[in-house]
Structure 1
């Protein structure tokens, strides 16, 4: 039972970590090399794509999606989709994908004359599933060694940590004041039943 309990806790921890890692904003320093629009068939993994933009046809199995192609300072490629999130999850309320695509196109640079930017995004790049992170903002920076402090993530995780601590304290007090007395009473009642049963059988065998 101990292994089952800790396996369950580990599974919950992995799910919570994956949820926040996918949802919270991440920042990449990259050099934009190209922007394009591709016709995408969502296939078996539509959850990794945003809903159709407000004002467009909903519920289709494929549609045009904007993409931003970049390279990191270490020379590795990094591809981002550029989709509106609207009012759906995650709550980025992004409705300016057209403007963002124009900004990305204006910041295209070459390897010999690079112009570095920070792309804020959420999501994962999984080549096997053909999924891409969704770019949210683009900001020019002085160079590839710029230091980025994820203040939004720090604030969100701190607030959630305080809420979790408050809920844990409430549960601890409830467990101490309500559940533990019930368990103690149940244990005492069981001991009394056990003692009475033992006394009954002792008297029964004595008579025989």
Structure 2
């Protein structure tokens, strides 16, 4: 049972951690090298793309904005630029056209680099053809600038506080309701056991008296 319990908690931590890592905003310091509008066929990986109502299309094939960039080490970064609308994650993004225009205006070359911070959520996976969704672009001073992730910090702190509150409420509930009920149940069970044992003792005593009446030695 110990291995089952630890496996359960490990799977729960991985599931919650993966969900938070995908959903919470991240920041990349990159240099935008181009923007494009690409026709994409949404298939089995539709969960990693914006919902159709956010893009105002009902087809599984639609045009999607993309932002191409490289970081200070020359590694490529590709972002999709889709509206999230009022769905999940709750970024309420409805300005993908404006963001695409801003990203195009901030494009630069290696000879005259312009470094920007791209705020995004999601993952990049070439095998499943999924891209992080850019939700903001901001010019920064250089590739070594540090962006403090205030939103993830606040969310994680609130999550820890919520977990501690729920744990405290559970402990109080157990102390006030569950533990006294278990004590009362134990006492009742002990009382029933004692009553049954008394009944058995009485029955044995009565049986002994009956046997004594009928099986006693006759008088001389």
User: What's the TM-score once normalised by structure 1's chain length?
Assistant: 0.90
Shift of 1:205: 8.2
Alignment of 1:182-193 (within 5 A): 182-193=181-192
Question: Gapped runs of 5+ residues in structure 1?
Answer: none
Question: Gapped runs of 5+ residues in structure 2?
Answer: 209-220
Looking at structure 2, the residues matched to 199 and 40 of structure 1 have their Cα atoms a distance apart, in angstroms, of 81
Alignment of 1:132-151 (within 5 A): 132-151=131-150
For the pair 1:47 / 2:74, whether they are aligned, the reply is: no
* Count of residues paired in the alignment: 207
Looking at structure 2, the residues matched to 25 and 55 of structure 1 have their Cα atoms a distance apart, in angstroms, of 21
Contact 1:53 1:85 survives alignment (8 Å) = no
Contact 2:55 2:82 survives alignment (8 Å) = no
For the pair 1:88 / 2:87, whether they are aligned, the reply is: yes
Looking at structure 2, the residues matched to 114 and 198 of structure 1 have their Cα atoms a distance apart, in angstroms, of 90
Q: Deviations over 1:74-120 (max 9, x none)?
A: 11111000000010100101010001101111111112221110000
Alignment of 1:62-141 (within 5 A): 62-141=61-140
Looking at structure 2, the residues matched to 199 and 188 of structure 1 have their Cα atoms a distance apart, in angstroms, of 16
SS at match of 1:108: coil
Looking at structure 1, the residues matched to 107 and 130 of structure 2 have their Cα atoms a distance apart, in angstroms, of 23
Looking at structure 2, the residues matched to 67 and 53 of structure 1 have their Cα atoms a distance apart, in angstroms, of 19
Looking at structure 2, the residues matched to 96 and 61 of structure 1 have their Cα atoms a distance apart, in angstroms, of 21
Larger Cα-atom Rg: 2
Shift of 1:11: 1.2
Contact 2:55 2:83 survives alignment (8 Å) = no
Aligned to 2:16: 16
Aligned to 2:162: 163
User: What's the TM-score once normalised by structure 2's chain length?
Assistant: 0.85
SS at match of 1:84: coil
